[in-house]
């Protein structure tokens, strides 16, 4: 990625880490407007579309009052740690699988990095988000798949929590605190699912980096990519976080699963990527796995 954009990312992170007063002094219009849009959309109970601009200077359609939209609109990035990992390890010409693409932030970032010689495949099954993903992902090296990813080809019952809480959409209960869960009134519907091994076998597209953020389905996704891990050795990022959800394994098991398949776990702490030692219990995070 252009060094100017890397510097801009560092500047945006610095802004985010500064005090609220410093944020308003340095970027008053963008941050105040984001909060106003979020408040209005929440008040009228109707999603509001707005155009955000990412740190690499790409326009991206957002939906307020959804939380990620508010954050990206205000700061131009999302998930500092995972963004840093993608910037560090994804390269021009690689193929990136975005499992749980949501509105497409990492899809667009990957598209920018891999360039015309690379490919991006974005998997997003939710009705409330796929249309926005398609709108954002109109680039020649991106293909959007309205599919869930699972251990095998099947149909799953998805809980869709609507625009505001669309980041929680899952086949399991929402990864949220009890107070937030009480606000949720999901719509449930059937979605088609594929496994990574099936998709790779049928399309011939071999991933070099797989980002997995699938709201508690990580174990099943890993079960469905054994051949891909064995034969193609992609870099993998996994969302972790133990929320005591029925039927969901602890994150430590996911980390050990990857270690047992010859992968080195890395974490982002203190502004740097470093080796990770498995924990007994995880808060929200993303762990990166490099093939040894």
Pair 164, 217 in one domain: yes
Final residue in a domain of this structure, among 78, 98, 133: 78
**Residues of the domain holding 150:** 79-291
74 in the same domain as 212: no
Residues 92 and 143 in one domain: yes
- Spell out the per-residue pLDDT of the chain, length 292, in tens: 778 889 999 999 999 999 989 998 888 888 888 889 989 998 888 899 999 999 999 999 999 999 899 999 999 999 999 999 999 999 999 999 999 999 999 999 999 999 999 999 999 999 889 999 999 999 999 999 999 999 999 999 998 887 777 777 777 766 677 677 777 778 889 999 999 999 999 999 999 999 999 877 899 999 999 999 999 999 999 999 998 878 788 999 999 999 999 999 999 999 999 999 999 999 999 999 999 9
In the chain, how many domains are there? 2
- pLDDT the model gives residue 171: 74
pLDDT the model gives residue 45: 85
Q: Is the same domain home to 194 and 49?
A: no
Residues 70 and 84 in one domain: no
Both 204 and 139 in a single domain? yes
Please check whether residues 32 and 68 belong to one and the same domain.
yes
pLDDT (0 to 100) of residue 1: 75
Choose one of 78, 106, 121: the last residue of a domain: 78
Question: Does one domain contain both 211 and 254?
Answer: yes
For residue 174, the model assigns a pLDDT of 67
Shared domain for 61 and 101, answered yes or no, is: no
Q: Are residues 259 and 125 in the same domain?
A: yes
Q: Are residues 167 and 27 in the same domain?
A: no
The CATH number assigned to the domain holding 85 equals: 3.40.50.150
Query: Residue 25 has what pLDDT?
Result: 86
End position of a domain, from candidates 63, 78, 93: 78
On whether both 19 and 59 belong to a single domain, the answer is: yes
Query: Distance between CA atoms of 152 and 194, rounded to whole angstroms?
Result: 6
């Amino acid at each position: 990625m252009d060094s100017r954009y890397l510097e801009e990312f560092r500047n945006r992170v610095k802004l985010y880490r500064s005090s609220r007063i410093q944020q308003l002094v340095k970027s008053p219009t963008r941050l105040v407007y984001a909060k106003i849009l979020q408040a209005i959309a929440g008040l009228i109970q109707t999603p509001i579309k707005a155009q955000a601009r990412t740190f690499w200077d790409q326009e991206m359609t957002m939906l307020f009052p959804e939380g990620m939209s508010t954050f990206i609109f205000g700061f131009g990035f999302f998930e500092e740690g995972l963004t840093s990992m993608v910037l560090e390890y994804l390269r021009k010409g690689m193929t990136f699988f975005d499992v749980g693409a949501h509105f497409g932030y990492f899809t667009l970032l990957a598209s920018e990095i891999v360039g015309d010689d690379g490919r991006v495949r974005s998997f997003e099954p939710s009705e409330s988000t796929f249309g926005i993903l398609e709108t954002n992902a109109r680039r020649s090296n991106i293909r959007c798949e309205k599919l869930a990813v699972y251990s095998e080809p099947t149909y799953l019952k998805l809980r869709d929590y609507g625009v505001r809480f669309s980041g929680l959409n899952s086949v399991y209960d929402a990864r949220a605190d009890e107070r937030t869960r009480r606000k949720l009134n999901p719509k449930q519907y059937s979605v088609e699912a594929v496994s990574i091994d099936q998709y790779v076998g049928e399309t011939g597209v071999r991933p070099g980096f797989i980002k997995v953020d699938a709201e508690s389905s990580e174990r099943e996704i890993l079960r469905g990519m054994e051949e891909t891990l064995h034969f193609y050795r992609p870099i993998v990022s996994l969302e972790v976080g133990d929320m005591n959800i029925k039927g969901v394994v602890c994150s430590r098991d996911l980390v050990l699963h990857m270690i047992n398949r010859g992968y080195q776990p890395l974490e982002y702490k203190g502004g740097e990527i470093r080796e990770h030692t498995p924990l007994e219990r995880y808060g929200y995070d993303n762990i990166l796995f490099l093939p040894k």
